[in-house]
Amino acid sequence: MRFSNDFLDEIRDRVPISAVIGRRVSWDRKKTNASRGDYWACCPFHGEKSPSFHCEDRKGRYHCFGCGVSGDHFRFLTDLEGLSFPEAVQQIADMAGVSMPQPDVQAERRERERTTLQDVMELATQFFQDQLQTANGARARAYLRERGLTGRTIETFRLGYAPESRNALKEHLAGKGVPKEQIEACGLVVHGPDIPVSYDRFRDRIMFPILSSRDKVIAFGGRAMSPDAMAKYLNSNETELFHKGSVLYNFSRARRALQGAGGADTIIAVEGYMDVIALHQAGVENAVAPLGTALTENQLDLMWKLTPVPVLCFDGDGAGQRAAFRAVDLALPHLKPGRSVRFAMLPDGKDPDDLVKQDGRAPFDKVLSEARPLAEMVWLRELGGGTFDTPEKRAELEARMKQVVTVIADENVRRHYQQDVRDRLNAFFQPSQGGRGERRGGFEPGNRGGRGGQSGQGRFGGRAPGPSAGGGGAISDRLARSGLVKGHQDQPALRESVLALTVVNHPQLLQDEYDEIAAIDYEHRDLQKLWSSLLTAAAGAGAGLSREILLQRLEEQGHGGVIKALDQQIRNARLWTATEIAAAEDAREGYRQALSLHKRSKALRRQRIELEREVAEATESDDAERIGQLIGALHQVQLEITRMENQEAIIDGFGVMSGRVKGAATGHSS
């Protein structure tokens, strides 16, 4: 039986390809990075002693650099085990826990009809290609040459020309025996009850075939040759084959660019057909484009199926900025851990074609390297060149920022965005060194700037101050000079202090979270000693342990000075959830947030150590490609560690309010 593409895609997405292959091979422990879904083994298709067989879960593909075999889940089973294709599908479906589809007579009939319509679209494509080479297509050929396209590029994208005649294509297809119902069903003619005689939809236009994910022509885009045409670009109408909002131009080629050995690592969305084609000719083969409309949820989801963080590339003019901000709103509700978008903004008045025409891909690669994360785009949009020189205006900005991130459906991602908003706002509203001053758009002279160094215009050139904007790993000079930090560089990390003092002040947590609390591994020596004494005291006191009894026993063990220092550090930071005045539920929430941060910090450091070890091994084996990959991963881990350290330093030094304050009227202050 035939299987729908949707069904095959579903079971492939549910089962990592490493799970299929891992039952037949042993992964090489040195080269494999399971956390990234990157696996190496000795090839099962030919004998070898060193692993050259590679598979990636993200791409759902395998490739052997020794014998050249490659494929997906099904190809592996059919080639290695000799299964038929239906048997391979059955095995993957069983692993995915998905039932095999029952035969559907109507669905099979529709599939046959779609196949027939695809045959008609193929005939139309060949007709347009042939017409481009005739005398009628001379102006179109000249236009394509002026745009710098080579004959090879024109052939690769199967560009063509639709003649001016109202019936050229219709008569050609009729002469091939294609019934008018099929011509109409393909959207190739304009027809209807109020149109006595149908006529060609595309006339005097350069034709761009639009392919499905399976490389079948399903629609066309046509660029008018006449400057007087009502529409410069015209797409096929919606048909059985084509649903505009669910298709990306060049999707199948871009997917192959990602799946190929040593290929691209993300998808780039640009604005139009010619942008995609010009980039491809310059060597950037992983670009796609929406079809003449704003990016849709379905199109964004298509990109996310191929890469966790696609890059959206927009023109640097006002229209490009507005399109970027619409894409921000489109993406925010659908973010998940590890899944986001980045934004690359072109220089004003330039499109990708302009950038690559003179100097090749290097200028475009530079634009991509400066792509901004989604969180920063949210920040830049909301600042929008405004002036925030009064408490009311600052409160309005804060309320607006908090409202924007509430649309994020994933709870964990939403929580981290809320923290990012707090970090940026707190850094942004700190008084400048020269006095109170006013904040204008967040881009003051002297701040780290992006492209062009614009100041306060709501453009993409400036980078707002804040812990997420910088890349440095050290505490700022201003923070280092502050009395709150000066002389206290040897105190525990703030997250460790919150964990320890919260439990000391709220020992009821020990009754509910004992196993987790006992497993906390502190880095600071004083806290290691304190924790050992605390756990001993808790074990001896049982369920009747109160704060007063616990403090007494800890002081008897010589920890009174440490607890006093912790209390001062916490009060300086105004983290009231760790103090004795916090309500139980607030203390519990603050403890859980601090524990999550602590675990994340530990995990990042372990990851950094492991990556450094792998870099050393790759250096010994002179594996340049692997070294490059590892150094890139190591850089990302270090950036995340630095970001966390900077956030902690800012909180500790300047008193960020955290958590709900209960009992604030009790007179406690910093």
The string of pLDDT tens digits covering residues 555-594 is 888 899 999 999 888 888 778 888 988 888 888 888 888 8
Same domain, 554 and 633: yes
Q: Are residues 261 and 237 in the same domain?
A: no
Decide if 464 contacts 424 (C-beta within 8 A): yes
Count: domains in the chain? 5
Give yes or no: residues 109 and 170 share one domain.
yes
Residue 476 falls inside a structural domain: no
Q: Which of 403, 436, 470 is the last residue of a domain?
A: 470
- In terms of domains, do 524 and 626 share one? yes
Identify the domain boundary among 314, 349, 370.
370
Whole-angstrom distance, CA of residue 436 vs CA of residue 292: 48
Mean pLDDT over 389-414 rounds to 91
Is residue 235 a part of any domain in this protein?
yes
Query: What percent of the chain clears pLDDT 70, i.e. is strictly above it?
Result: 82
Tokens 């780290």 belong to residue:
448
Residue 662 counted as domain residue = no
Is 301 inside a domain boundary? yes
Long-range contacts of residues 385-389, Cβ cutoff 8 Å, at least 24 apart: 385/440, 385/441, 385/456, 385/457, 385/458, 385/459, 386/440, 386/441, 386/458, 387/438, 387/439, 387/440, 387/441, 388/428, 388/429, 388/438, 388/439, 388/440, 389/438, 389/439, 389/440
The domain of 625 spans 494-654
662: pLDDT strictly greater than 50: no
341: CATH: 3.40.1360.10
Cα–Cα distance, 598 to 517 (Å, whole number): 12
The region of weakest confidence among 209-223, 388-402, 606-620 is 606-620
pLDDT of residue 644 exceeding 80, the answer is: no
Which of the residue ranges 43-47, 150-154, 178-182, 647-651 has the most confident prediction, judged by mean pLDDT? 150-154
Q: Is the same domain home to 330 and 226? A: no
Question: Range with the lowest mean pLDDT among 165-169, 467-471, 524-528?
Answer: 467-471
Q: What is the pLDDT of residues 228-245, one digit of tens each?
A: 888 889 999 999 899 999
- On whether residue 63 sits in a domain, the answer given is yes
- Distance CA(346)–CA(354), nearest Å, equals 10
Q: Give pLDDT, residue 471.
A: 33
The reply to whether 305 and 358 lie within a common domain is: yes
Are 203 and 307 contained in the same domain? no
The pLDDT of residue 630 is above 70: yes
Residues 332 and 455 both lie in one domain? no
Q: pLDDT band for position 418 (50/70/90)? A: very high
Kindly state whether residues 85 and 198 are assigned to the same domain: no
Answer yes or no: do 230 and 125 share one domain: yes
pTM of the model: 0.56
Q: What is the largest CA-CA distance in the chain?
A: 101
Q: Is residue 665 part of a domain?
A: no
Instruction: Encode pLDDT of 245-290 as tens digits.
Output: 999 999 989 988 876 545 578 899 998 899 999 999 999 999 999 9
The CATH number of whichever domain residue 89 belongs to comes to: 3.90.580.10
Cα–Cα nearest to 269, from 313, 300, 322, 228: 313
Task: Find, among 104, 83, 195, the residue nearest to 73 by Cα.
Answer: 83
Q: Is residue 571 part of a domain?
A: yes
Same domain, 25 and 72: yes
CB-side neighbour CA atoms (13 Å) of 105: 0
Q: What is the pLDDT of residue 437?
A: 42
**359 and 402 housed in the same domain:** no
pLDDT classification of 633: cutoffs 50, 70, 90:
confident
**Domain final residue, candidates 346, 370, 394:** 370
pLDDT recorded at residue 670: 34
Residue 544, pLDDT score? 65
Is residue 264 domain-resident?
yes
pLDDT at 607 over 90: no
> What pLDDT, on a 0 to 100 scale, did the predictor assign at position 462?
32
How confident is the model at residue 485, as a pLDDT?
34
CATH number for the domain spanning 203: value is: 3.90.980.10
pLDDT confidence bin for 107, thresholds 50/70/90: low
